[in-house]
Amino acid sequence: MIELKNLQKTYQGDNGSLEALRGVSAHIRAGEIYGVIGKSGAGKSTLIRCINMLERPTTGSVIVDGEELTTMPERQLRDVRKKIGMIFQHFNLLSSRTVYDNVAFPLELAGKTASEIEAAVAPLLELVGLADKRNQYPAQLSGGQKQRVGIARALANRPKVLLCDEATSALDPQTTHSILELLKDINQKFNLTIVIITHEMQVIKEICDRVAVIENGLIIEEGTVIDLFVRPQTATTKDFIRTIVSHDLPDIFADIPFSATPSPGSNLMLRLSFIGTSANEPIIAGLIRRFNVDVNILFGNIDHLKATPFGTLLVEVSGEDAAIQAALQYLQEIELGIEVIGYVARNARTFN
Amino acid sequence: MSQEMLALLIEALWETLYMVAVSAGIATVIGVPLGVILVATSRGHILQNLWLNRILGYIANATRSTPFIILMVAIIPLTRVLAGTSIGTNAAIVPLSIAAIPFVGRVVESALREVDYGLIEAAQAMGASPFQIIRRVLLPEAMPSIVLGLTLAVISLIGYSAMAGAIGGGGLGDLAIRFGYQRFRVDVMISTVVILIALVQLVQTAGDRVSQRLNKK
């Protein structure tokens, strides 16, 4: 649905130039929810603005629904933009218009008649749950309600693509959740392709199918959300995951020295990640039986990536040195996210 | 105060209202588009044209930096061409309009600049043309501030119109000078001042009301 090829964007300023994008390529499939996560200044805002040509890339190509946009004249571009909805962090509603008139706005721009507008707007207000607010002004609404108006407005021209520019960043966690549910809902109902840029891993976790991590104007990692959570490759990705899945060790380990290599009589500390069906297999029990080791669960957590269960366990494996190594090898062979935290001398433990 | 004096006052008030209303109308019709152009052609805006922007800016500044009393005299030849005469209320409308146009242009410009650029971006993302953005986003969103700016312009025009009286433009200023000052008619002087104060109050109150009514923020 959206094809980005080697996008580069350089801003010329008074103090030299700034490279916001340094060669971004991505393929976003029809009907998927694609997330782009990055810290502020990473280039994600520029990237999403290049998709509908609010920013013209310096070089590279943007193809949306089979049409090359970078070379398209302004007039033709306006028609294409009507098929690309967009919502914003600060909602950008017209304060002088009621809820109804805000949603009607893109239809007015497209030259629709009043009856066509009424026929389109009423069900949209129903969809976003604001039918009773149609004659209120944005100033009378909460942040979540404003974003719902933004969504209804973005859907008015029945777009094929919805761009979300930090759409939940100004909202509290509960409201964020309800807005994400709404986006998930319209994604399924209309088979709408959704591109979300955010700095919040929570957003990626709740609704995205695939995700790209952007840093310094480059996509440094891309894949399904599950892959990214289980096998993050870069430090940046790990940082983002850490914001929602605690990787901190329990306090009692704070003063205990870890070593990267085993020494005689030391215990192994591991973090295990489980995804989907593997979360159901009796791995720990199997470990204990097959290798005659003890497994002590120190911390456990279960979460969902969109609809897929995702668990993490922090365990300490003790037993004969050889048995520990055999158990570790076994765990590394099966499809499981595994991270060796280190080895800890058995007598260093005072808490058990 | 004699019946005659009262009739003179009413006539002068009428002349003032006429001069102010017509010149405010002309200034709005030309000044609002001027303000729109000053914003839309500025750097990074929807119709960036720095060359045009700079020229209009210079003209607006030049007009505004000329004291009104001097402007009035300086453009007498132009007034003769446009109004057919250089004295009377119709003649006064020419300098009044010329002084008010850049004033309105600047207040409209600053009102439009208050509109969050995010709204323009949102409209662009919906496929709005520059003209649609001006007509349906910038002007309606800035309307409360524009009304306050126009109110200010009308009040300035009331003041200027009194000055126009000094060179034979008619109106309350003319009356105050000829009767109140030159013939020592304190009652006329006080009456005109009171009427002017009331007029300004009335305009300000009305402008505030309309602006408040339009403001949905």
Three-state secondary-structure class, residue A286: helix
- Segment A164-189, tens digit of pLDDT: 999 999 999 999 999 999 999 999 99
pLDDT one-digit tens code per residue, B68-85:
889 888 998 999 999 888
Average pLDDT, chain B: 91
pLDDT, tens digit (0-9, with 9 covering 90-100), for A7-29: 999 988 787 888 889 999 999 99
Q: Does the pLDDT value for residue A247 go beyond 70? A: no
Candidates B122, B129, B140; nearest CB to A78: B129
Q: Which residues of B touch A88 (CB under 8 A)?
A: 118, 121-122
What's the CA gap between B27 and B114, in Å, rounded? Answer: 21
pLDDT band at residue A148 under the 50/70/90 scheme: very high
With tokens 């991270």, the residue in question is: A339
Contacts of B97 (CB under 8 A, 6+ apart): B22, B23, B26, B27, B30
Q: Is the dihedral of CA A5, A8, A9, A12 positive or negative?
A: negative
Average pLDDT over residues A205-210: 93
The pLDDT of residue B123: 96
pLDDT of B188 reads 85
Of A248, A178, A231, the residue nearest A207 (C-alpha): A178
The pairing of beta strand A266-275 with beta strand A337-345? antiparallel
Task: Give the residue-averaged pLDDT of B120-147.
Answer: 96
| Mean pLDDT of chain A, nearest integer | 88
Question: B56 near B34, Cβ under 8 Å?
Answer: yes
Task: Tell me which chain B residue has its CA closest to the CA of residue A88.
Answer: B122
**Dihedrals φ, ψ of A256, to 5°?**
-90, 130
Interface touch A109/B126, C-beta < 8 Å: yes
Checking if the pLDDT of B121 tops 90, the result is yes
Average pLDDT estimate for B128-141: 96
**Span B166-177, pLDDT tens digits:** 677 788 888 888
Mean pLDDT within A21-42: 92
Strands A210-215 and A33-37: parallel
The answer to whether A190 faces chain B, any CB pair under 8 Å, is no
Q: Among A49, A75, A96, which would you mutate to test the B interface (most chain B Cβ atoms within 10 Å of its Cβ)?
A: A96
Mean pLDDT to the nearest integer, A326-336: 81
Whether residue A54 and residue B136 make contact (CB cut-off 8 A), yes or no, is no
CB neighbourhood size of A295 (10 A)? 20
pLDDT confidence of residue A347:
65
Q: What is the mean pLDDT of residues A330-346?
A: 80
> Residues of B with CB below 8 A from A97's CB?
140
Give me the pLDDT at residue A279, please.
56
Size of interface A-B (CB pairs under 8 A): 63
β-bridge mates for residue A213, sequence order: A37, A221
Q: Is A78's CB within 8 Å of B128's CB?
A: yes
Higher pLDDT, A151 or A283: A151
Chain A residues in contact with B140 by the CB 8 A cut-off are 94, 96-97
User: What are residue A294's DSSP bridge partners?
Assistant: A318
Pair A149, A99: CB distance under 8 Å: yes
Give the pLDDT of residue A62: 95
Whether the per-residue pLDDT at A335 is higher than 70: the answer is no
